[in-house]
Amino acid sequence: MSKEITGSEALILSLLSEGVDTIFGYPGGAIMPVFDCLYDYRNKINHILVRHEQGATHAAEGYARTSGKVGVALVTSGPGATNTITGIADAMIDSTPMIVISGQVASSLLGSDAFQEADVVGISQPVTKWAYQIRRPQDIAWAVARAFYIAASGRPGPVLLDITKDAQFGKVANYEYKKASFIRSYQPIPEVNISAIEEAAKLINQAKKPYALVGQGVILGGAEKELLAFLEKAGVPAASTVLGLSAVPTDHPLHVGMLGMHGNLGPNKKTNECDVLIAIGMRFDDRVTGDLKTYAKQAKVIHFDIDPAEIDKNVYAHVKVLGDAKETLAAVTEKIEKNSHQEWLQEFRACDQREYDAVIKHELYPTTGQLKMGEVIRKVSEATDNKAVLVTDVGQHQMMGVRYFKYSQSRSVVTSGGLGTMGFGLPAAIGAKYGTPDRTICLFVGDGGIQMTIQELGVIMQYGVNVKIILLNNHFLGMVRQWQELFFEERYSETVMTNPDFVKISNAYNIPARKVETREELDEAIADMLNHDGAYLLDVQVETKGMVYPMMPAGTCVTNILLGNE
């Protein structure tokens, strides 16, 4: 391109070159030149005006999680930029590819405490893969190309680009965009060690009780088919982390459930009974392992991961298989023998029966008393033929949601895993809908979490975003209350919620809503919500003091599992 353009136009053209079709943002003084330029490109890039910059980052996360593309947020300097830090940290710990572009005061004013100046690069460095300040317009294309490459490659994550106002106004001659494919000293995908592949295959072939732990790395690497081929050839039972859910369909015969503090009984107990533990694209989070001193000490551990920093970080791996799961799983599958471990698999199923009798049948199929979270989640999932995308906020409803929703295809779970960010759900659901517009988006949210970002209902109103919102309303900060009941002698300190009329609030945003208080009206209400052409909010009054079981108390052994009254 021979004509001279502004830095702002160079930014927009660079985003278009990376295939960006949707941006979530909020304008302000230090980013105004970019928004002015965006006006000329409004038919090529869809900008969604959020109501708070944190909402922009969570929406970008939701978009990335369902689309598999890089989410983009665009904000101004100072408080606009600092409001994104929670979302950036959330994306970092959950390996979500995202680019946050923030405006900055003119370079001549840097360090002078100018109006709305903040060192956002310094603030964000601990929670980004890369944070960079652009001070010259001719550096914009280079920086954007580098940002997209870093955000999307290897173990994905967030990148921040801070652009001074003079760089936005400045001129670029001979603009040219070249996508990045190499950065010196940055190796996103480690080389595969063939001897590690052979050693892993040998251990798997010899195993009597092999057990696979499936993490989000499988989904991020697009390795779902390779995973199923591996599991089916080896006959290995597989459980999923919260973010790994949907990599394997819920009804697959080798899928045995969810790991972790509120995971299924079998997946947790059998961790300490298997002889070979195969971790695939997961990081041995403390909510999965419990007390590391007692975790899987009898097992040989094989760890598949793309990030060398995760190997041996929490759990020692006897075999370390570095690389992209799509490549490494296929390589191991070639070398393993066809096998079946039906007797071992039946041990998981026996645990399923015990869990069903003690917990699940009471949660999913009650006939008396107040509505339960689990039964609502089950009914919504079944009403969508188990084909919807589950989005959750954080709390009891989150653990109930990921446990009892069912998944028939990948990228069907959008939730805040590692950071546990209340307020994530509503904006993430909006982003998830833009990321996969043809799928039904079901947001489960608590009365605490929804009020942290409730203003994003304005986005739904303005843009007509078709999100089904199921508010599981127990008038408590439910998860904190559960801990207070179990471990703090029922001293309910600051967990009781006096709530507004959510139906009136929803209607004020022109979103149809309905309050559900009885079991008899639930099916009809769910049908009305799903059949409505557009967004809808169900305020479901669920039991005030419900409990999420099973529960592994924090820091205890994975076999120390509470099953409620049992």
Where residue 531 sits, what CATH number does that domain have?
A: 3.40.50.970
How confident is the model at residue 565, as a pLDDT? 65
Of 185, 32, 184, 20, nearest to 97 by C-alpha is 20
Where residue 317 sits, what CATH number does that domain have?
A: 3.40.50.1220
| 242 in the same domain as 139 | no
How confident is the model at residue 152, as a pLDDT? 98
Domain assignment present for residue 365? The answer is no
| 275 in the same domain as 203 | yes
Quick one: tokens of 205? 């072939």
| 217 in the same domain as 159 | no
Number of domains in the chain: 3
Angstrom distances, CA of residue 222 to CA of 175, 326, 540: 34, 7, 36
Domain assignment present for residue 353? The answer is no
How confident is the model at residue 96, as a pLDDT? 98
| 14 in the same domain as 126 | yes
| 58 in the same domain as 18 | yes
Q: State which amino acid sits at residue 489.
A: E
What does the alpha-carbon distance between residue 457 and residue 201 come to, in Å, rounded to a whole number?
A: 51
pTM across the whole model: 0.97
| 204 in the same domain as 121 | no
| 252 in the same domain as 312 | yes
Which residues belong to the active site?
A: 53, 115-116, 165, 479
Angstrom distances, CA of residue 49 to CA of 23, 222, 512, 541: 9, 31, 21, 31
What does the alpha-carbon distance between residue 528 and residue 522 come to, in Å, rounded to a whole number?
A: 10
What does the alpha-carbon distance between residue 203 and residue 275 come to, in Å, rounded to a whole number?
A: 9
- The residues of the chain scoring below 50 in pLDDT are 1
| 104 in the same domain as 144 | yes
- For residue 216, give its domain range: 194-346
Angstrom distances, CA of residue 543 to CA of 371, 376, 519, 549: 6, 11, 12, 15
Segment holding 167, helix H or strand E: helix 165-169
- The torsion angles phi and psi of 540, rounded to 5 degrees, stand at -95, 120
* Contact yes or no for 427/58 (Cβ under 8 A): yes
- 500 preceded by a cis bond (ω within 30 of 0): no
Of 422, 421, 459, 445, nearest to 537 by C-alpha is 445
- Per-residue pLDDT reduced to its tens digit, 518-539: 999 999 999 999 999 999 999 9
| 14 in the same domain as 64 | yes
